[in-house]
Structure 1
């Protein structure tokens, strides 16, 4: 079957799975990225390797019309930031791969909240592209098991593997899964994480603070230490230990490692910066 792909490097495995199943790519749509957390060089290289055009912009109705003229049968979306116009006037099928067990966890990036809530079971879903984000009929889902100490990086890698497995299943039995797709129930929408949600609270137990740090991972949590400006933390560790320090006090430092008192122990800030990531990126650091 002939398909167009819209996404970026995080979900390149979806593109690869369709190609491995014998599907023919016709075009790739991606988007400008920050090259800190998100990248598009691999998906661009895939397009160039197959000799198909790359658009670095939102999909327009004219793009859908051109795809229809080329005989495109399916638009496959995985991580495309922009809303896709109504495709039904141009294409027979359009699907999206979403990193949650739909209908739960609709929204732009549900990974943070799944980790903050210490979920132990998760999934990637493939659904029909609908006017409302992440609300179309479900074709299939692939389960993902999470550990009690899951971090953002391992969660993301597990989702990539699961998305590739799911894409392979969908590609091999697309007609059957499309025919059997089922409507979603009411579900839930999860907005982007707020600064308040990614801020450590040293008045709480060490375990709660480490869960926030693991959930944020390379996106960085915020550490409000006493007597100073907030710190932006990429990696932290900690342990329970009785003490008499006020929570939030920096009780020890060694080179760039800081130990901060929490309610029932200590949190070690192992990788941190005094500037948020966006400001550092603007300075070229």
Structure 2
């Protein structure tokens, strides 16, 4: 089948590779930004035709897509809402791949929110595009268990791989005129991560801090302050050992920081103005001391 692919972020990487291996990708449309998108870099590597635009709903873009006469239009991790003028072009259908089990976690940050909320299960969903965001009829779902220490970056890659395979099956169903089923169940939302949510509150529970750290790793990163500078924490472990004042370092060997109900062991971080490093490298370079306070 001939398809047009809309995508920008890293979640769309494996689906695009998968689709290009089995179907004709007539055009890839990505967001125009200051830096080259993940999808744009991949297109250059694979030799796929690429169009970068800040507005996919412009008449010239619609004309280009219409002249290609695609069978399928695929959207994932794109960031723009497509108008009916685009959605209605393909011969068979316009599909979206979303990294959650819809109708749970509709919105911009479903993977991060699932980890932040300590969900044990998530997945990917394919659905037919409609006027309403993430509300179209469902084609297929594929659930998966979230690893107890899995980060956003790790889970995104895994869901991307699952999603690529699910898209192939979904396109086959669309070719057989499958119309999908309506979304049922409790609806929840996954709004974009706000800047203020990234700050670690040490008076919270160790488990909540761990979930926040892993949900925002590797980017944008949950942060605290240390010696007057920002410290982004990328991986850690909730520890039952109790401490004193929240934020206080209670063990400089294991890099344990006191929390509201125990302590949190920092395993990986990125100090302001430096590179990502292990706790061991941080201890050698910064020599944190017991009783120093983070987030002060």
Q: Considering the TM-score relative to the shorter chain, is it more than 0.5?
A: yes
Listed as ranges, the matches of 1:30-49 within 5 Å are 30-32=30-32, 39-45=38-44, 49=47
Does the alignment pair 1:11 with 2:12?
Answer: yes
Q: Structure 1 residue 232: deviation in Å?
A: 2.8
Residue of structure 1 equivalent to 2:100: 100
- Name the CA shift for 1:136/1:228 in 2 (closer, same or farther; >3 Å): same
Structure 1 partner of 2:75: 77
Tell me how far 1:265 sits from its aligned partner.
2.6
User: Whole-Å Cα distance in 2 between the matches of residues 239 and 89 of structure 1?
Assistant: 53
Query: Do the aligned residues in 2 keep the contact of 1:17 with 1:171 (CA within 8 Å)?
Result: no
Contact preservation (8 Å) 1:12, 1:42: no
Encode CA deviations 1:63-100: one digit per residue, 9 max, x unaligned.
Answer: 23332222212111111111112125533421111111
Distance of aligned partners of 1:88 and 1:215 in 2 relative to their CA distance in 1, 3 Å threshold: closer
Counterparts of 1:246 and 1:65, CA distance in 2 = 62
C-alpha offsets along residues 259-285 of structure 1, whole Å, 9 cap, x if unaligned? 4322313433641334799xxxxxxxx
Give the gaps of 5 or more residues in structure 2.
276-296
Matched residue, 1:268? 266
**Cα displacement string for residues 123-157 of structure 1 (whole angstroms, at most 9, x for unaligned residues):** 11111112221111111122222122222222112
Q: CA deviation at 1:197?
A: 3.3
Q: Within 2, Cα distance between the matches of 1:247 and 1:91?
A: 57
Using the size of structure 2 for normalisation, the TM-score is: 0.78
Number of residue pairs matched?
Answer: 268
Runs of 4+ in 1 over 6 A off after TM superposition: none
TM-score normalised per structure 1: 0.81
Residue 183 (structure 1) aligned with residue 167 (structure 2): no
Give yes or no for the alignment of 1:58 onto 2:73: no
* Cα 1:189/1:261, change in 2 over 3 Å: closer
Q: Residue 160 and residue 26 in structure 1: after superposition, are their counterparts in 2 closer, same or farther (change >3 A)? A: same
CA contact (8 A) 1:3 1:27 kept: yes
Q: Could you say which residue in structure 2 is the equivalent of 1:280?
A: none
1:251, 1:123 → 2: CA distance?
Answer: 38
User: Who is 2:202 aligned against?
Assistant: 202
Distance 1:34 1:119, change over 3 A: farther
Please state whether the residue corresponding to 2:31 is helix, strand or coil: coil
Q: Report the CA distance shift for 1:89/1:247 in structure 2 as closer, same or farther (over 3 A).
A: closer
Whole-angstrom distance in 1 between the partners of 2:264 and 2:25: 52
Provide the C-alpha distance between the structure 1 equivalents of 2:135 and 2:77, rounded to a whole number of angstroms.
Answer: 15
Tell me the residue number matched to 1:282: none
SS in 2 for 1:173: helix
Please state if 1:247 is matched with 2:246: yes
Aligned to 1:29: 29
Specify the SS of the correspondent of 2:38.
coil
* Structure 1: runs of 5+ lacking an equivalent: 278-285
Q: Label 1:271 to 1:35 Cα distance change in 2 as closer, same or farther (>3 A).
A: farther
Number of the residue aligned with 1:281:
none
- Structure 2: distance between partners of 1:18 and 1:168: 7
Q: Tell me: CA distance 1:89–1:148, structure 2 relative to 1, closer, same or farther (3 Å).
A: closer
